[in-house]
Amino acid sequence: MAITFKQVDFTYQPGTPFENKALSDINVTIPEGSYTALIGHTGSGKSTLLQHLNALLKPTSGTVTIGERVITPETSNKDLKRLRQHVGIVFQFPESQLFEETVEKDIAFGPQNFGVSEAATLKTAAEMLALVGLPQELLKRSPFDLSGGQMRRVAIAGVLAMQPDVLVLDEPTAGLDPQGRLEMMEIFARLRHERHLTVVLVTHQMDDVANYADNVIVMDRGRVVKTGAPREIFADPQWLLDHQLGLPKTTAFARQLVQRGWQFERMPLTEDELAQDLVAGLPQSAFGEGHDHDE
C-alpha cells in the first residue's frame, strides 16, 4: 500500500498562543513494499509526518492518499477504522500502552475491537507472540511482570495482530541494549519479507538506515529536503552534517581513510562492504597462512 503526500501543511493548535507549524509543503511518496527510513534531527517533524500515515492527524491543508483512501482537512473522524487496520503504528515506548491482564488479551485486543471472534484472536495472539520471538508460556502472564524489552515485543505483537499492510515504527529500538536492538531489527526485516509489508522506520541510527532501508526521506524544519536510496543520501557526507545528521559508522571511517589518500569507487555503507573494498588493496602478506586469496 503506497502513501502519497501532496502539498501537506500541518499546524498544531492553530489560533492559540501555542500555535506551531510542524509541516510545510510536504510532497512525497512512500512506495508500496519499500523499507523507507524517515530521518531528520530532533524536532524536524518526523513524528508529526508519521501521525499522518494513518490519519491520527489530518493535514491543515493538502492531501494524504493512503492506498485508495484520500485524507483531506475535511475528512470526518468517523469511518477511519479500516484505514487504521491497514496502517499499524508502533509509537515510541509502546510498552507504556499495555493495559490488559494477560499478554494474550493485550495482543488480541485490537482485532477483537474490529469484530473478530475471541477464539480467532487468541489464536492470532499466540502466532504473533512467536513472530516477535517470545515463548508461548508468556501468554497467560501479566504484561507488567515482563522486562522492558519483552513488554516492547508484546506491544509490537499487538500491532501486528491487526495484520497491517504498512508497519510504521517510531524509534522502535530506543532504550534497548545492543543485542535487543539487533534482534528487533532482524525481526522487522524478516516480517517485511514474510508478510510483504511496507515498512516506515523513524530512526536516528544511520547504521540501521544503511543496513535495512531501500528508500530514505530526510526532513529538516518541517520540510522534506531530500529523498533517495541510502547510497545516494550518504554520498554527500557534508550535506548530511549540515542538516545535523550523522553518517553510518563505516562511511565516517572510510572518510577518514579518504583524507589520508585512500580511494573508494563508491563510499562503503557497511563494515562488510568496507572490508571487501580494503582487502582488494592489501598485499598478500596481510592474510593468514593457508588462506587462498585469488586476485
Partner 1 sequence: MVSPIIDVQHLNYRYPQQPETALTLRDVSFSVAAGEWVAIVGHNGSGKSTLAKNLNGLLAPVSGTVTVDGQVLSEETVWEIRKKIGMVFQNPDNQFVGATVADDVAFGLENQGVPRDEMLARVEQALKQVNMQEFATREPARLSGGQKQRVALAGMIAARPRILILDEATSMLDPRGRAEVLATIRQMKADGQLTVLSITHDIDEAASANRIIVVNDGEVKEEGTPAEIFRHGENLIKMGLDMPYAERLKAALKRQGVQVPATYLTEKGMADWLWQLRSNK
Q: Return residues touching partner 1 (CB under 8 A).
A: 12, 17-18, 20, 41-43, 46-47, 92-93, 96, 147-149, 171, 174-180, 182, 204, 206, 244-246, 249-250, 253, 256-257, 260, 262, 271-272, 274-276, 278-279, 281-283, 285-288, 291, 293
CB of 222 to partner 1, least distance (A): 12
Q: Which is nearer to partner 1, 195 or 293 (CB)?
A: 293
Q: Which is nearer to partner 1, 47 or 112 (CB)?
A: 47
In angstroms, rounded to a whole number, what is the distance separating the alpha carbons of residues 94 and 173? 11
Alpha-carbon distances of 18 from 13, 15, 57, 73, 251, rounded to whole Å: 6, 8, 17, 20, 40
Neighbours of 266 (CB within 10 A): 11
Taking Cα atoms as reference points, which of 241, 199, 175, 90 lies closest to residue 186? 199
The residue type at 244: Q
**12 SS3 class:** strand
CB of 40 to partner 1, least distance (A): 8
CB of 291 to partner 1, least distance (A): 4
Q: Are 40 and 206 spatial neighbours (Cβ–Cβ below 8 Å)?
A: no
CB of 176 to partner 1, least distance (A): 6
Q: CA angle, 112 as apex, 110 and 116 as ends, to 5°?
A: 125
Q: Are 161 and 124 spatial neighbours (Cβ–Cβ below 8 Å)?
A: yes
The residue type at 263: Q
Alpha-carbon distances of 220 from 49, 76, 235, 257, rounded to whole Å: 12, 30, 18, 29
In angstroms, rounded to a whole number, what is the distance separating the alpha carbons of residues 49 and 218? 12
CB of 142 to partner 1, least distance (A): 10
Q: Which is nearer to partner 1, 42 or 76 (CB)?
A: 42
Q: Which is nearer to partner 1, 190 or 293 (CB)?
A: 293
Q: Which is nearer to partner 1, 121 or 203 (CB)?
A: 203
In angstroms, rounded to a whole number, what is the distance separating the alpha carbons of residues 55 and 115? 21
Q: Which is nearer to partner 1, 135 or 178 (CB)?
A: 178
CB of 172 to partner 1, least distance (A): 12
